[in-house]
Amino acid sequence: MSLRPSRRAALSAGAAGLASLLASGCDQIVSAPDARRFLRSAQALTIAAQRTLLSGQRLAREFKPSDMSPIFRTNGSTDPQTPEYLALKGANFSFYRLIVDGMVDAPLALSMQDLRLLPQRTQITRHDCVEGWSAIGKWSGVPLHEILTRAKIRYNAQYAVFHCYDVMPNREGALTPYYESIDMVDAFHPQTILAHTLNDAPLAVGHGAPLRLRVERQLGYKQAKYIKHITIVDRLDTIFGGNGGYWEDVAGYEWYGGI
């Protein structure tokens, strides 16, 4: 007994239809915003899974000095040219002030000297670029929770937003400041530090002088460099493109960079 012709024809038609859909429809499927939004629903699953697995503030691996990359490459902005930054750099960051404001009861303006007088942490960790490469370096700086606690962060605060001195082109090609954001789970993680030192030397301009974020359980684009200003907020949708970071707004990277 064989398949009846009608059924065979239906199957053939189905296969042909699928093939033509694959051949012609891919570009439309790729660019459809609804399809994109649907695909990004997987991100919610990733956050839920990782937050469950990472409960209890699990630490990223810390390596031995012998595990360190011989050369720690730079990436993204490596030499900001905004007048504001050039002036700071020209004065060796002596009049730099880290501003901490937003949903805090005690806004702060901290000099590099103030930051060095706070409790410090040193960690040898791996930096993972979204592109795929990794580098291991030794970072020293102030745990972010030390700063947020001193700023008397309010109970309904949700995110720390890092505004930076460097500018990058947006979708239209105009220059827009780099920024990034993390939630309070990562902001209060013991390895989340504002680093001023890499491999025992003051942070070079290429690595984000005078201060950059290290949030060790996420990818490189979350590690904001040239930090100017930290704002504590309860929502991200009103800031720049609304997706919580420069690359998130411009290229559609995931806000949660844990994968």
Question: Per-residue contact track with another protein, 123 to 162, x per CB under 8 A?
Answer: ---x-xxxxxxxxx--------------------------
In the numeric block, which tokens belong to residue 13?
């038609």
- Nearest to another protein of 33, 119 (CB atom): 33
Residue 132 has φ and ψ, to the nearest 5°, of: 130, -20
CB of 143 to another protein, least distance (A): 16
CB of 7 to another protein, least distance (A): 8
Q: Which of 123, 119, 140 is nearest to 60 (CA)?
A: 123
Q: Which of 161, 148, 165 is nearest to 231 (CA)?
A: 161
First-to-last C-alpha distance (Å) of the chain: 52
Q: Which stretch binds another protein (CB under 8 A): 53-61, 152-160, 164-172, 175-183?
A: 53-61
What single-letter DSSP state applies at residue 78?
Answer: S
Show the DSSP H helices in the chain as ranges. Answer: 5-31, 33-39, 41-53, 83-90, 112-117, 144-150, 184-187, 246-250
- Give the SS3 label for residue 127: strand
Binder of another protein out of 13, 20, 28, 58 (CB under 8 A): 58
State the Cα–Cα distance between residues 245 and 226, nearest whole angstrom. 14
Question: Per-residue contact track with another protein, 67 to 106, x per CB under 8 A?
Answer: xxxxx-x---------------------------------
In the numeric block, which tokens belong to residue 75?
């990436």
- Nearest to another protein of 44, 87 (CB atom): 44
State the Cα–Cα distance between residues 255 and 247, nearest whole angstrom. 9
- Nearest to another protein of 125, 231 (CB atom): 125
For another protein (CB under 8 A), the number of binding residues is 53
What is the number of alpha carbons within 13 Å of residue 50 lying toward its C-beta?
A: 16
- Nearest to another protein of 54, 99 (CB atom): 54
Question: Per-residue contact track with another protein, 19 to 48, x per CB under 8 A?
Answer: -------xx--x-----x-xxxxxx-xx--
- Nearest to another protein of 59, 168 (CB atom): 59
Q: Which residues of this protein are in contact with another protein, per CB under 8 A?
A: 1-3, 11, 15, 26-27, 30, 36, 38-43, 45-46, 50, 53-54, 58-61, 63, 67-71, 73, 126, 128-136, 216-219, 247, 251-254, 257-259
